[in-house]
Amino acid sequence: MSTLTLSTDFVQRLDQTADDTEALLARLLSDQLLPDEIARPRRLMEAIRYSSLAGGKRLRPFLVVESAAVFGVPRDAALLAGAALECIHCYSLIHDDLPAMDNSELRRGRPTLHRAYDDATAILAGDALLTLAFDIITRDEIHADAGVRLLLTRALARASGIGGMVGGQMLDLAGEGRFGDREPVDVARLQQMKTGALLRFGCIAGALLGQASKEQYKALDDYGRALGEAFQIADDLLDVEGDAAALGKPAGADAALNKTTFVTQLGIDGAKKRVGDLLARADKALSIFGEKGDVLRAAARFVAERKN
């Protein structure tokens, strides 16, 4: 794995987008009613805010903002699309943590939503955030051609649905033997669905908003796939080598479940080598953007080297 130190400039940029995303989500999750809304039940709003305004790196919105910046897309439009993507990410964590799913007690060092509230509230908060994502991504404040916005909306649905994140979570549970015998796990396919599809969406969102050429779209698609796989391998490595305090959740969860991961498949050294190859692939994909691809290049490194 590369040992390149991330520049202060990159970290500031990442933090700025995290702050802007947090502020935008706080506004979108205010008690103010939208047109055609009847009421926003207080407990549901509190639960949603508990889960989605808990800080975090906001990596997915950052990918949207930076892939959009390559094409000069206005930052506000990209932030909205990023906020929609973050709603999907937050809902998926809430539902995955449920007792019927991963039964997790901690998330980012705090009680998971169903622990802090209750299971019914957590199910509905997840449903509400998933739905809110499609409310946000169709808003007129995303000043793009209506056809482009429809494409973007459909791409988000595809990345999140049966053949994307939700399907990946199902395969993951099947691989744990949750529905009878353990089903064989294709680690690469599982990753592409469960975590890869949303990260890839973050990268192609900029291409869609920026009305990229086919070649540019394909470059960001390739980049997004490489980054997504590097992200998952880093995750699997952290589960083996990471520190519970930095992770905000227990390490060793995969081993405890006897899960097939990139690390069990490639070994620690093999997994680290693979990350290096993926970073090279990401760099190569971005080459057509020249200097405009620098931040995305750094983002891939950040993803691969993160400690939590």
Neighbours of 260 (CB within 10 A): 18
Stretch of residues binding its own copies (CB under 8 A), selected from 4-12, 71-79, 135-143, 285-293: 135-143
Question: What three-state secondary structure class fits 107?
Answer: strand
The verdict on 170 binding its own copies (CB under 8 A) reads: yes
Distance from C-alpha of 58 to C-alpha of 79, rounded to nearest angstrom: 11
Six-digit token string for 160: 């999140």
Footprint (CB under 8 A) of its own copies, residues 34-73: 34-41, 43-45, 48
Closest CA to 203 of 180, 229, 238: 229
Radius of gyration for the alpha carbons in the chain, expressed in angstroms and rounded: 19
* Of positions 49, 111, 167, 265, contacts its own copies by CB under 8 A: 167
Size of the site for its own copies (CB under 8 A): 64
- Per-residue binder mask for its own copies (CB under 8 A), 225-264, x = binder: ----------------------------------------
Asked whether position 144 contacts its own copies by CB under 8 A, the answer is no
- Where is 275: in which H helix or E strand? helix 262-286
Tokens 């791409």 correspond to 155
The verdict on 306 binding its own copies (CB under 8 A) reads no
**Closest distance to its own copies from the beta carbon of 284 (Å):** 22
The 10 Å CB-count burial string (b at 16+, else e) for 114-138 is bbebeeebbbbbbebbbebbeebbe
**110 membership: H or E segment, kind and range:** strand 110-111
How far is CA 28 from its chain centroid? 19
Nearest distance in Å: CB 166, its own copies: 5
Q: How far is the CB of 187 from its own copies (least distance, A)?
A: 13
Nearest approach, Cβ of 103 to its own copies (angstroms)? Answer: 10
For its own copies, the closer of residues 13 and 149 by Cβ is 149
Chain contacts with its own copies (rule: CB under 8 A): 33-41, 43-45, 48, 91, 95, 98, 100-101, 118-121, 123-124, 126-128, 130-132, 134-135, 138-139, 145-147, 149-150, 153-164, 166-167, 169-171, 173-174, 178-179, 189, 192-193, 197
